[in-house]
Structure 1
Amino acid sequence: MGDARPPLLRMEGISKRFGGVRALEEAELTVRAGRIHAVLGENGAGKSTLIKILAGVISPDEGRMLLDGGEVSFASPAEANRAGIVCIFQELSLIPDLSVADNIALFDPPRRFGLIDRRAQRRIAEEALARAGAPDIHPMALVKDLPLSRRQMVEIAKSLARQPRILILDEATSALTAADVAKVFSVLKRLRSEGLALLYISHRMHEIAELADECTVFRNGRNVASYPAGTKTDNEVVELMIGREYKHVFPPKPVSPPAARPVLECRNLSWSERLRDISFSVRQGEVVGLGGLDGQGQRELLLALFGVLRGCGGKVLVNGKPVALSSPGQAKADGIGMALIPEDRKTEGLMLPMSVRENLSFASLDRVSRHGLIDRAAEDRQIEEMVRLLAIRAGSLDMPVGGLSGGNQQKVVIAKWLMRAPRIILLNDPTRGIDVGTKQEIYQLLRRLADAGAAILFYSTDYDELIGCCDRVLVLYDGMIKRELVGKEITEHALIATALNISGEQAA
């Protein structure tokens, strides 16, 4: 059934180029009040450019925007905010050293006698946090002391405090726990019922299915389809996004598990109250998954193995020999050969202002140096090999890595460590916030690396990835391994039941 109401916002004939790169070409978008409109497409399809134009971050080269039927343009995000358009970008805009309340009221703090009214500011923060479904976050807590998932909730609260008419969410749930995602969904549905227009950008198809009323698909800078949510299958949507037939996303697993000896072994690994007597092994050529609800010790386990955490108990063995992992430098050294693909590529994996070339070679400069001097020819050969292997798409290797799409940034993070030819690869939710096409490429790469002899430990918050990629899955609960799933035992039912600590008979 069509909506007879006039659109709240229309974008018509929007084009934008960056140098010789076409980001958008004659793009169109119609947004209505009281609706959740999903915007879909691969990284680099033009989605981010479109919402940056709408949010006043950049200006279009051509085209126009109509708000309430009148033509508008925004020279800054502040102008867009005043018109009621607020965007929650995937990259957080919070200032870590300020409190939650300071961040929420940063651009328009309440004043009394010319000074910031701290009591009113705290009240505004409490109301915004409650509206965002996060009343448990203390308004006086420092943002830097909060985990990534709670910072994302503060970002949402900060946006709601501006009383938007159009709220744009760009991968706003990618860093959230399952419990927080459920709260955000409830908030978004309530905002829709209150008459807000919501633009929702996500690569998680199940989120689109649950939330969206309408969908628009972008490819190569153009909108290629708009349709009511639920009228196309996931495969049809993916084919629209990638412009080709969608093949099975996961590569085939080995018929029988590798019989090689363990490359990595943990024996009774413990740390604080977060890890308790963790024992397992990963063999050469094997992909072992880490499952369980978010926050059950999976990230701490990866950090402990990579030498980031201090004061760990237990033993770690590499190729049967005990090793001391007191720093990342020791973990990545040739004698151990470990690499960690971190959770947050923006803050932990890349130096955004530096070039693609510099980011690629940074972790392996010691391998392309002689007597303290970098062998540029050797460096270039390895960089070219990585760009080809991972199909990294960049206008130039000398451009800032922050200018790449999210999927290509993640490829750079992975390539940076592959240049060290690691024997043990630790991955911390590596496909968060990237498109289905790039995910498929990463899945294929993981299997090729395992087939070439790497031992891979793979944490993912996506059950489909654990089922499709892993030979075994270790399900963690409260810092302990509750169950090991092997082969056909790796099912969604078994993963969820074990993650919820349901008994073995029920989880089978």
Structure 2
Amino acid sequence: MTETNGLVQLRGVSRYFGGITALKDVDFSCHPGSVHGILGENGAGKSTLIKILSGVLEASEGRMSVDGNDVAYRTPSQATKDGIVCIFQELSLTPDLSVADNIFIDNPPRWMGMIDRRAQRRMAIDVLARIKCADVDPDTLVRDLSLSRRQMVEIAKAISKNPRVLILDEATSALTSRDVQTVYGLLNKLRDDGVSCLFISHRMQEVEALCDRLSVFRNGQHIRTFTKGELSESEIVKLMIGRDITAHYPPKPTAPHVDHDAGAPALKITNLTWENRLKGVDLDVGAGEIVGLGGLDGQGHKELLLALFGVLKGVQGQVELNGQPFRPLSPAACKKASIALVPEDRKTEGLMLQLSIADNILLPNYPGVSRGPLVDPARAADVVQRAITKLQIKTSDPGIAVETLSGGNQQKVVIAKWLMLDPDVILLNDPTRGIDVGTKQEIYRLMRDLANAGKAILFYSTDYAELIGCCDRVSVMYDGAVVRDLSGETLTEEAIVSASLNIHAGDAA
């Protein structure tokens, strides 16, 4: 597909990794003063495309030009000199350095050969104010910031380089609602200033809100570029996955699996309290039920899941499993009690990226595949293969490093390693964040299959549509406590939003 001239142009670009084709004969261009959405499933070639644009990878074939001049970047610093800056989904920050040090780590201001700390701090304050994050102290260590604030520091780091082309790879997936709106405003301002923004997101509402043009990639090929509004959402999705989606969410059971009056639920929480983040949470999940956690960001959802998995210390209150008291003192104790947690950040909390797919799957499963102190190779191979088959993990070799997989397949590995333990209670912390629509469909179906098999699932999501589509009930949290339970006809987006603000839907008028 031939694209018209642009600030940056690719012509016939391909990229090979051994015998694997990651990009095939791609023509692509981006233009000043526009926000250009890049869409496609994980593994479609989006990441390879932006790595070539930003100098992380070289093309195996084809040409790349900037301002009409051919370039062949070998490092990101070369691309940065031409004004091409990328914000990757994986944060590049150094946790033990300050915010200011991280923002200017590549090119700090100097005086007499030394880093000018005062100038650096002043410049950090300016760039943080520019992205509406004046509340972030430039002297704070990055490790002491929330994930959303870290992502905003990553954005500040990119903006400090005054980009002509700004590439955002799922840069909003870890942000709070407030920070997402801040990024929207920033991108609109950059567009008005003539910057070319490439925006990768699996959230169609973000694409609709921000982008002027859209390009779809599939199986390493550029399928089509079009203006926003030219195609419907269902037509775009069909281009992305190459097939029609018959149902976005799997059907819920016509009759509830759970009779809450028949006996003790699989998981019951009473007056759970932790510091000033959890304030007397009452909640229950029956076997065979998917219960969602809804509400605005920062209301205690994540702390609740961590408390139930024994990560937090000093938790007060009562937890019961199938009617029996249980104290979640450690992840090991929770694992033994048949509780599993799929954490928020797969790369830092869920996986050992440099280990193989097989090693990651086996990490919590070694007791079950060992004879005494030795691993039984046959048992281990069987567990790994069953996990790959069950989750449909796309790989030709379970011995390759898990970091080589697409984001969606990495998430499948995180889920697979716990499912091989056959847990009774499954805690899911935003498991579809940053993954493609096809993989989301698979995870939705898997959740419903697990519930139909009698598992109790507690599911936190930042996407209200997911909560409505997947869950039998939704417990909305506000200020560290559950303020409303929604189900059946009351489970609507309006009701979730109203409860998130701790008002009744009728009061909103």
- Alpha-carbon distance, 1:507 to partner: 6.5
- Alpha-carbon distance, 1:396 to partner: 1.3
2:495·2:504 contact (CA, 8 Å) conserved in 1? Answer: no
1:387-466 equivalences under 5 Å are 387-466=388-467
SS in 1 for 2:388: helix
CA distance in 2, matches of 1:473, 1:320: 22
| 1:299 maps to which of 298, 302, 316 | 302
1:287-326 equivalences under 5 Å are 287-326=290-329
SS in 2 for 1:475: strand
Where does residue 89 of structure 2 map in the other structure? 90
Where does residue 349 of structure 2 map in the other structure? 348
Output one character per residue of 1:335-390: Cα deviation in whole Å (capped at 9) or x when no partner.
x2000000000000000000000001101111111211111111111111111111
| 1:265 maps to which of 263, 268, 278 | 268
2:88·2:170 contact (CA, 8 Å) conserved in 1? Answer: yes
RMSD: 1.2
Structure 1 segments of 4 or more deviating over 6 A? none
1:302·1:426 contact (CA, 8 Å) conserved in 2? Answer: yes
- Alpha-carbon distance, 1:505 to partner: 3.4
- Which letter maps to 1:443? Y
Output one character per residue of 1:226-283: Cα deviation in whole Å (capped at 9) or x when no partner.
0001111110000000001122110000112223540000011111110111111100
1:112-127 equivalences under 5 Å are 112-127=111-126
CA distance in 2, matches of 1:76, 1:171: 22
- Which letter maps to 1:153? M
CA distance in 1, matches of 2:236, 2:465: 18
CA distance in 2, matches of 1:507, 1:288: 25
Where does residue 483 of structure 2 map in the other structure? 482
CA distance in 2, matches of 1:488, 1:89: 40
- Which letter maps to 1:417? W
SS in 2 for 1:215: strand
Q: TM-score, normalised by structure 1?
A: 0.98
2:364·2:417 contact (CA, 8 Å) conserved in 1? Answer: yes
CA distance in 2, matches of 1:446, 1:222: 31
Where does residue 334 of structure 2 map in the other structure? 331
1:38·1:212 contact (CA, 8 Å) conserved in 2? Answer: yes
- Which letter maps to 1:407? G
CA distance in 2, matches of 1:352, 1:130: 35
Where does residue 215 of structure 2 map in the other structure? 216
Where does residue 230 of structure 1 map in the other structure? 229
SS in 1 for 2:266: strand
- Alpha-carbon distance, 1:425 to partner: 0.1
CA distance in 1, matches of 2:489, 2:355: 45
- Which letter maps to 2:185? S
- Alpha-carbon distance, 1:395 to partner: 3.1
Q: TM-score, normalised by structure 2?
A: 0.97
Where does residue 363 of structure 1 map in the other structure? 364
- Alpha-carbon distance, 1:504 to partner: 5.4
CA distance in 2, matches of 1:443, 1:503: 29
- Which letter maps to 1:283? G
- Alpha-carbon distance, 1:325 to partner: 1.0
Where does residue 181 of structure 1 map in the other structure? 180
CA distance in 2, matches of 1:24, 1:408: 18
1:498·1:507 contact (CA, 8 Å) conserved in 2? Answer: no
2:282·2:481 contact (CA, 8 Å) conserved in 1? Answer: no
SS in 2 for 1:354: coil
CA distance in 1, matches of 2:481, 2:127: 36
CA distance in 1, matches of 2:473, 2:508: 16
Where does residue 129 of structure 1 map in the other structure? 128
1:38·1:200 contact (CA, 8 Å) conserved in 2? Answer: yes
SS in 2 for 1:269: strand
Where does residue 274 of structure 1 map in the other structure? 277
- Which letter maps to 1:263? A
Where does residue 104 of structure 1 map in the other structure? 103
CA distance in 2, matches of 1:428, 1:80: 36
Where does residue 68 of structure 1 map in the other structure? 67
CA distance in 1, matches of 2:207, 2:471: 26
Matched, 1:495 2:478: no
2:258·2:289 contact (CA, 8 Å) conserved in 1? Answer: no
- Alpha-carbon distance, 1:506 to partner: 3.2
- Which letter maps to 2:478? Y
Output one character per residue of 1:137-190: Cα deviation in whole Å (capped at 9) or x when no partner.
110000000010000000000000011100000000000000100011001000
1:493·1:507 contact (CA, 8 Å) conserved in 2? Answer: no
Number of residue-to-residue matches in the alignment: 503
